[in-house]
Structure 1
Amino acid sequence: MIRLENLTKTFDTPNGTVVAADKVNMEVPSGEICILLGPSGCGKTTALKMINRLIPPSSGKIFINGEDTSGLNDIELRRKIGYVIQQIGLFPNMTIEENICVVPRLLGWDLKRARARAAELLALVGLEPRLFLKRYPKELSGGQQQRVGVIRALAADPPVMLMDEPFGAIDPINREIIQDEFLKMQATLKKTIMFVSHDIDEAVKMGDKIAIFRAGKIEQYDAPDRILAHPVNAFVADFVGADRTLKRLRLITAEEVADPDAPVIARHGRAADAAAMLRNSDHRFLVVIDADHRPVGYVTAEEAEGSSGLVGDLAHPLPATVPVRADLRAVVSEMFAHDTLWLTLVDDGGRFAGVVTQPAVTRCLGETYARANAA
């Protein structure tokens, strides 16, 4: 847990005193990610750097897991905190293994334990230890180096992580991949994380909470869904964007709105059986599956009625399938791209996992608005 109480930072300039952070109060529960957002110069990076004392506070208190950090010297404090920056800062003359082991070795870990930790963390971010431990940073892509920079901060198992635009320099495709790997890792490690970003989409995807700063103050500190559904003022509404309803689609997975009991039939089944199933269903189509339960097509109620053939002879190819973990923005994008009001979901093995429809997406958004309003 991180708690900031009246955290303030002022700078004296030739033109007078500048307030970079103005009585910042917030609490990040243990195991959660808090994203700090706001325009340039709003105080978010200053607030982050005061936590590990890269910038000393002018006043206020910082608590980590209930401990007042003002009683710790800089070295003691920073041993409790992992720190990741956009520039990564890997040592070019060290192997990846040596880079990850730097802090554990400084803390007195024996070499065997430090190396085991390095291998464990590489595997967590999708980098095969056998292939990457002995490589040098220049032999890795920018995205791979960024992953190593993240796990190096985790090597000594700090309870808290601070991240200053860690994925900002990565191209969009690799950024999505690294974000996904990081969220998988966080689901396992459950660190308490404060994360500066300039990207509202990244914040919505990654944050349990979002703090929106302006002129050194927090304008709104809330769950992403509540900020998008109910911005507290015009500044927050403008900052998160006029398309904030569409951004909320990122908060919900296809699996959450799918109908897993949508009717299916084997492709060697009879059309008459398909017609009978649809008469007792709200759906106007059946998904056709193969022997491995993979969706291979669909047939409509109108086509099934009166036909004496096999379903496989009537089936149309599916316009697209989407994985169950896809967010609803991706689902809606596929619907528009293929001019359809429904899509079939598949699990990690490509097996049928349900159907998601456009009315179900709309209904879900309405329900989340109601929940956000009641919170």
Structure 2
Amino acid sequence: MIKLDNLTKVFDTPKGAVVAADHISMEVPRGEICILLGPSGCGKTTTLKMINRIVQPTSGKVFIDGEDTTDMDTQSLRRNIGYVIQQIGLFPNMTIEENITVVPKLLGWDKARYRERARELMAMIALEPDAFLKRYPNELSGGQQQRIGVARALAADPPVMLMDEPFGAIDPINRAVIQDEFLKMQQELKKTIMFVSHDIDEAIKMGDRIAVFREGKLVQYSEPDDLLAAPRNAFVESFLGEDRALKRLNLVKVNEIVSDEIGTVSPGDTLEQALARIDDFGYQNSILMVNDQRQPVGLITRAVARTTRGYCRDHFQNVPATVGLDDDLRKVASLMFAQDTTWLPCVDDEGRVCGQITQRAMTHHLGARFRAAERTAQAAAETTSKE
């Protein structure tokens, strides 16, 4: 949907020419979010602004849905590209409804259509239309204004959106909420988005692809998992940080490594039976007790099963936590550390036990990806040396 072909920007300064973007070539597939990441002054915002010609390219081309935009009318180009900036840029003398409907009005939408679009978008960004549409920007919090900025960019239903650190000025709690809401919207809307950020965690969370910039050059363009597992050079590796293996916890879902081999007992089973089942799964010191619907209702420990007689229903502990199949490994690791456990039961949408996840499985999965990346890099280096 977006293709940059040797896009270059050179600024003339009193001290001479400065190359802000140096022959940037990349493609963003339809419906994906591409994060432009890098330190301040690396060229990511300049690259973004050349797409809608807020900054005029020195050379190179931009293609939108296969069409060369070089000779396209600038106003027409911008009206078909949503644009969201960190400073939000709402018009202070306009109501929220008027702010949202600016572009649809310019495009000639009738009143009923653009007013309905405003209400639809307010619901989408989780703000009550009747409570907010007639207010002015200064009556809203910073986080609410940022949501309105996103709604305004979406108003005319543009196929492409450009976002320049849109959530950077919001406090961490509200930023996480808005990021989550935006990702939910994106699942439905499937916009093609280029998104400038300097926050690595945000990039990993939001991006389908990440482009790392340094001194005006595109250094690496990869999917988040590939970027973390196989940084191209020392700069990318240092920029990602020493905890890049832990950052991958955000990218892996429980359903990728869950094991359906999990021992269970029923409330009517004896503790002797529970101990035998624990021994069948020798790496665990407890076993899960489930009801007739296979929902977890308790935990029988090895210590209790070994020293006590009776039935499981009379000697169980509470289940410390469960995880869902769509949870990421960061949540799982946090729960394991908090509960001092090396495994957790996994449940489906109805709360029924469908397997377990262990620290060992998590470690093996993460490590295997890094080992594979090392082997690939080594093979590439050997091929280069032979040539």
TM-score (norm 1): 0.90
Deviates more, 1:316-325 or 1:301-310: 301-310
- Please list the CA deviations of residues 264-284 of structure 1 after superposition, one character each: whole Å capped at 9, or x if unmatched: 445455445544554555663
Question: Counterpart of 1:340?
Answer: 341
The alpha carbon displacement at 1:179 in A equals 1.0
Within-5 A mapping of 1:288-367: 288-289=289-290, 294-301=295-302, 303-304=304-305, 308-346=309-347, 352=353, 354-367=355-368
Deviates more, 1:269-278 or 1:239-248: 269-278
Within-5 A mapping of 1:230-309: 230-260=230-260, 262-267=262-267, 270-272=270-272, 274-275=274-275, 277-278=277-278, 281=281, 284=284, 285-289=286-290, 294-301=295-302, 303-304=304-305, 308-309=309-310
The alpha carbon displacement at 1:245 in A equals 0.8
The 1:230–1:308 alpha-carbon spacing in structure 2 relative to 1, beyond 3 Å, is same
Deviates more, 1:120-129 or 1:99-108: 120-129
Deviates more, 1:229-238 or 1:291-300: 291-300
Deviates more, 1:205-214 or 1:112-121: 112-121
The alpha carbon displacement at 1:301 in A equals 4.6
The alpha carbon displacement at 1:189 in A equals 0.8
1:254–1:327 Cα contact (<8 Å) kept: yes
- Please list the CA deviations of residues 48-98 of structure 1 after superposition, one character each: whole Å capped at 9, or x if unmatched: 000000000001000000000012111110122000001112233433333
Question: Counterpart of 1:145?
Answer: 145
- Distance in 1, Cα, partners of 2:312 & 2:102: 62
The alpha carbon displacement at 1:33 in A equals 0.8
Within-5 A mapping of 1:6-45: 6-45=6-45
Deviates more, 1:17-26 or 1:289-298: 289-298
DSSP-derived class of the 2:90 partner: coil
Question: Counterpart of 1:76?
Answer: 76
The alpha carbon displacement at 1:168 in A equals 0.4
- Distance in 1, Cα, partners of 2:262 & 2:139: 49
The 1:70–1:42 alpha-carbon spacing in structure 2 relative to 1, beyond 3 Å, is same
Q: Which amino acid aligns with 2:178?
A: I
Q: Which amino acid aligns with 1:26?
A: M
- Distance in 1, Cα, partners of 2:145 & 2:266: 47
Question: Counterpart of 1:168?
Answer: 168
Question: Counterpart of 1:190?
Answer: 190
1:37–1:198 Cα contact (<8 Å) kept: yes
DSSP-derived class of the 1:91 partner: coil
Question: Counterpart of 2:2?
Answer: 2
- Distance in 2, Cα, partners of 1:252 & 1:274: 32
Unaligned runs of 5+ in 1: none
The alpha carbon displacement at 1:297 in A equals 2.9
- Please list the CA deviations of residues 150-178 of structure 1 after superposition, one character each: whole Å capped at 9, or x if unmatched: 12101111010000000101111111111
- Distance in 2, Cα, partners of 1:65 & 1:103: 21
Deviates more, 1:28-37 or 1:282-291: 282-291
1:272–1:306 Cα contact (<8 Å) kept: no
DSSP-derived class of the 1:71 partner: coil
DSSP-derived class of the 1:109 partner: coil
Unaligned runs of 5+ in 2: 378-387
The 1:90–1:277 alpha-carbon spacing in structure 2 relative to 1, beyond 3 Å, is same
The alpha carbon displacement at 1:213 in A equals 0.6
The 1:151–1:273 alpha-carbon spacing in structure 2 relative to 1, beyond 3 Å, is farther
- Distance in 2, Cα, partners of 1:253 & 1:18: 44
Q: Which amino acid aligns with 1:366?
A: G
DSSP-derived class of the 1:70 partner: coil
Percent of paired sites with the same residue: 61
Q: Which amino acid aligns with 1:300?
A: T
1:299–1:315 Cα contact (<8 Å) kept: yes
Question: Counterpart of 1:91?
Answer: 91
Deviates more, 1:327-336 or 1:226-235: 327-336
- Please list the CA deviations of residues 244-290 of structure 1 after superposition, one character each: whole Å capped at 9, or x if unmatched: 11111111123332235533445455445544554555663322345
1:204 lines up with 2:197 in the alignment: no
- Distance in 2, Cα, partners of 1:362 & 1:368: 10
| Alignment coverage as a number of residue pairs | 375
